[in-house]
Amino acid sequence: MLLRHAPYTLELRHPFGIASNTRTSTPATLLEVEHDGVIGYGEAAMPPHLGESQASVAAFLTLATPLLTAVHDPFQLAEILPALDALAPGNTAAKAAVDIALHDWIGKKLGTPWHRIWGLDAAQAPVTSFTIGIDTIDIVRQKTREASIYKIIKVKLGRDDATDRAIITAIREVTDVPLTIDANQGWKNRDSALRLIEWCATQGVVFIEQPMPKEQLDDTAWLRERSPLPLIADENCQRLVDIAKLVGAFHGVNIKLMKCTGLREAHKMIILARALGLKVMLGCMTETSCAISAAAQLSPLVDWADLDGALLIKNDCFRGTTIVDGKLTLSKLPGIGAEKISR
């Protein structure tokens, strides 16, 4: 099997602010595997605060090249992906790029998109939220107006209590659609977090993502006992092994391909989370329609989708899953359901 990869910088439409930082671009790496005349596409997206970079992805892929070029049957995911995972700890976005490309290759070889291979009905794909980053109140209002086609809006909070309330109030001046909140670990005190969540419950908020730092799991469990809104783990939920630990601290989990090494593990995580009675959300980083379309193949299985990553960038070089009337609409393309449109 041949392996090709190149860095690609995702240019954001607006500066994107979360609790810890603001950025205008996201480094990514695009990857192709080729075997038997079929090309599978994959992508790694690396928001800098998560620790991977174009250089670390290139280094991991160099390490993985002997393993991957020796692959004679890309269908053997059960053998290839654990061997890839064992090469080095971490590197989850780099591993996801390979996982996505192999899934794309297999689906193209079969002429079938992955949601059909998994036995899922594309008509069951959920609406997706659209994310409003932390910004000035005027820009928050403007971004909210621009997001009028979306049936649900995700709001980044977590800088300080007054700013958080001002952002929600500004959004409520513009729209009455349901909101979800992502505090990105920004609320450090459980009592003030509870007061803010109680207020959010009066503002049409549906759930709260990662209210407190991942190290404060006991405080999060305290909050879960009292919160009028469901709490969803993001930074606390990276991979399959994390899920069982979250029962009792959260009501659900946010699964992302770039955190969990790709589609194969994400599928297992959804099944396990369901078995443990947890709600499931499918999220993303800023990504092209390559990784977004891949994640969307799993979307008929989840309660909530936040797959707006390709909408936040100016230079999407893939076409695949689209959003029609706020709802994820999977393409009929095989594999991950995306095609390359420019280089």
Question: Which residue, 104 or 182, has its beta carbon nearer to Mg ion?
Answer: 182
295: Cβ contacts below 8 Å, ≥ 6 apart: 256, 257, 263, 266, 282, 284, 307
Count of residues of this chain found to bind Mg ion when the rule CB under 5 A is applied: 3
Residue 252 contacts residue 230 (beta carbons within 8 Å): yes
Question: Which residue, 209 or 308, has its beta carbon nearer to Mg ion?
Answer: 209
Residue 323 contacts residue 311 (beta carbons within 8 Å): yes
Question: Which residue, 71 or 231, has its beta carbon nearer to Mg ion?
Answer: 231
DSSP codes of every residue in 58-81: HHHHHHHHHHHHT-S-TT-HHHHH
Helices in the chain by DSSP H: which ranges?
Answer: 54-69, 77-85, 92-110, 114-117, 137-146, 161-174, 190-201, 217-226, 257-260, 263-275, 289-296
Question: Which residue, 98 or 282, has its beta carbon nearer to Mg ion?
Answer: 282
Closest separation between CB of residue 284 and Mg ion, Å? 10
Closest separation between CB of residue 18 and Mg ion, Å? 8
Measured from each CB, the residue nearest to Mg ion is 234
Q: With the C-alpha atoms ordered 53, 54, 58, 61, is the resulting torsion angle positive or negative? A: positive
Closest separation between CB of residue 73 and Mg ion, Å? 37
Q: Per 3-state DSSP, what percentage of the chain is helix, strand, and coil (rounded to 5)? A: 40, 25, 35
Question: Which residue, 234 or 308, has its beta carbon nearer to Mg ion?
Answer: 234
Residue 270, classed as helix, strand or coil, is helix
For residues 218 to 257, the per-residue mask of contacts with Mg ion, x marking binding by CB under 5 A and - elsewhere, is ----------------x-----------------------
Residue 46 contacts residue 28 (beta carbons within 8 Å): yes
Closest separation between CB of residue 29 and Mg ion, Å? 22
Closest separation between CB of residue 129 and Mg ion, Å? 11
Question: Which residue, 104 or 209, has its beta carbon nearer to Mg ion?
Answer: 209
Residue 329 contacts residue 321 (beta carbons within 8 Å): yes
Closest separation between CB of residue 76 and Mg ion, Å? 33
Question: Which residue, 258 or 328, has its beta carbon nearer to Mg ion?
Answer: 258
Give the binding range for Mg ion (CB under 5 A) out of 113-121, 162-170, 207-215, 287-295: 207-215
64-90 per-residue burial string, b: 16 or more CB within 10 A, e: under 16:
beebbeebeebeebeebbeebbeeeee
For residues 131 to 170, the per-residue mask of contacts with Mg ion, x marking binding by CB under 5 A and - elsewhere, is ----------------------------------------
Closest separation between CB of residue 5 and Mg ion, Å? 27
Question: Which residue, 45 or 101, has its beta carbon nearer to Mg ion?
Answer: 45
Closest separation between CB of residue 209 and Mg ion, Å? 5
Question: Which residue, 84 or 237, has its beta carbon nearer to Mg ion?
Answer: 237
Residue 182, H or E segment: strand 179-182
Here the tokens at position 152 are 């649900």
Q: Is 306 in the site for Mg ion (CB under 5 A)?
A: no
Q: Which of 32, 135, 182, 316 binds Mg ion (CB under 5 A)?
A: 182
Closest separation between CB of residue 214 and Mg ion, Å? 11
For the beta carbon of residue 277, count every other beta carbon within 10 angstroms.
9
Residues that bind Mg ion (CB under 5 A): 182, 209, 234
